[in-house]
Amino acid sequence: HLLQMWTNGINEAGKMALLAWEKETGIELVQINGQRLYGAPPPGWVGGPPPADTEVYIGRLPQDLYENTLIPLFESVGKLYEFRLMMTFSGLNRGFAYARYASLQDAQRAISTLHCFQLREGCAIKVCWSTQKRELVVSGLPATVSQQELEARLQMVTEGIRSVTLHASPCQRQAKLAVLKYRSHKAAALAKKALMEGNLRLGKAEMRVDWLYPQMKKKLQLCEEEPLSSCVQGGKSLAVPRPVALPLSQQNVLECLNMVCWKHRLRTPLFIIKCVHVNPNGWQRFWYQVVIPGYSVPISGFTWVSPDRQGQSKQEKAKVTAALHTLWVLGESLHSQLPAFPKVFTES
């Protein structure tokens, strides 16, 4: 009760002015999970929503300003489809908002007209194109979680999810991370807030939710048509070395592997390669196992092979990946320096 009285008392004059404006204009604002929404669509809107790239980002807002000031200002330069003001629990704004316009021209006009506009003396706002981030990364997932289980849980606590991709964590042993793609920035932002508030429970794992930034995206080498490989060796999850866009000769890689085995008094590796899945785009997923007589455990994994028809066969490409993975595992466990192939693959 005391907390409610305290929050109601913050910027009381501004809140009263907003209520009076809503009553006068008949505009309805809807507050959902930390943001207040106008439109989507606004009254009198005809047709479908405009393209996603008509949204602008508005920053450096004074926290005691509300839609009764901001919406008329941003409507003065073009037709608004949606306006979203980010809110704190106390009822102040969080200093930024998003405005989505009916056309690209209106959005461009908003940027050219209102960027550095002085809302108050010494208070110039920032207006630029919205980055439209739609992907989240959830790290610290238990190694036992399945994609089906994760998708089912996410659909219960978030909306607008388009895809879920599981990966072996590059930073934590015995852990996974997931890349979540949402239909819009708004859906992703709401999902991020919901997940950060602990609305997703999977065992006792300490999970972290963040935007999928370019650095992490590059590290994962994310590609919808070519999911990252995962493998198991001795019951532990390992990152699979991925061939770079370098035309590696199967004969050279196998010669290198045979040389390393000979150096450590191991016998010639035996390969088992099986195609286990073909996706609609023509990518083939291969399972492989490499058995080296004299080495403690088989080395297993999965790899995706592209649908191009030139050069090596798909089976040969999968065998090259299996050999590279085996070289990497032997290099890790035997502390050997691999001749001729020091940088032919990267770790996912």
Domain ranges of the chain: 9-129, 135-212, 250-334+341-347
Give the separation between CA 132 and CA 55, rounded to whole angstroms.
8
| 3-class secondary-structure state, position 128 | strand
Fold match, 9-129 / 135-212: yes
Q: How far apart are CA 320 and CA 243, in angstroms?
A: 8
| Assigned CATH for 250-334+341-347 | 3.30.160.20
Task: Check residue 308 and give its pLDDT.
Answer: 61
Backbone phi, psi, residue 47, to 5°: 95, -175
Task: Decide: 348 and 220 in contact? Cβ < 8 Å.
Answer: yes
Q: How far apart are CA 146 and CA 161, in angstroms?
A: 17
β-pairing verdict for 126-129 and 93-101: unpaired
Rounded CA-CA distance 152/161 in Å is 11
Instruction: List per-residue pLDDT tens for the chain, 348 residues long.
Output: 554 555 677 888 999 999 999 999 999 999 887 889 999 999 999 999 998 789 999 999 999 999 999 999 999 999 999 999 999 888 899 999 999 999 999 999 999 999 999 998 889 999 998 877 888 988 888 888 877 778 877 877 788 888 888 887 766 666 788 899 888 887 888 888 888 876 566 655 567 888 887 777 777 754 333 443 333 333 333 333 333 333 445 567 788 888 888 878 888 889 999 988 887 767 788 888 999 888 888 888 887 777 665 556 788 888 888 888 888 777 756 543 434 333 333 333
Instruction: Return the CATH fold of 9-129.
Output: Alpha-Beta Plaits (3.30.70)
Q: CA-to-CA distance for 80 and 103, rounded, in angstroms?
A: 9
H or E element that contains 35: strand 35-39
Residues 127, 114, 90, 31: what is their CA dihedral angle, to the nearest 10 degrees?
-80
Nearest to 53 by CA among 103, 96, 109, 97: 103
pLDDT in the model for residue 286: 86
Contact 70, 127 (CB under 8 A): no
Cα 186 to Cα 34, 82, 159, 175, 318: the distances in Å are 11, 11, 10, 29, 40
Provide the CATH topology of domain 135-212.
Alpha-Beta Plaits (3.30.70)
Structural tokens at position 248: 């590696």
**Helical spans, DSSP H, in the chain:** 2-9, 12-25, 67-75, 104-114, 147-157, 185-196, 214-220, 250-263, 314-334
pLDDT at 173 (0 to 100)? 64
Strand partners, 161: 182
Would you call 127 helix, strand, or coil by DSSP? strand
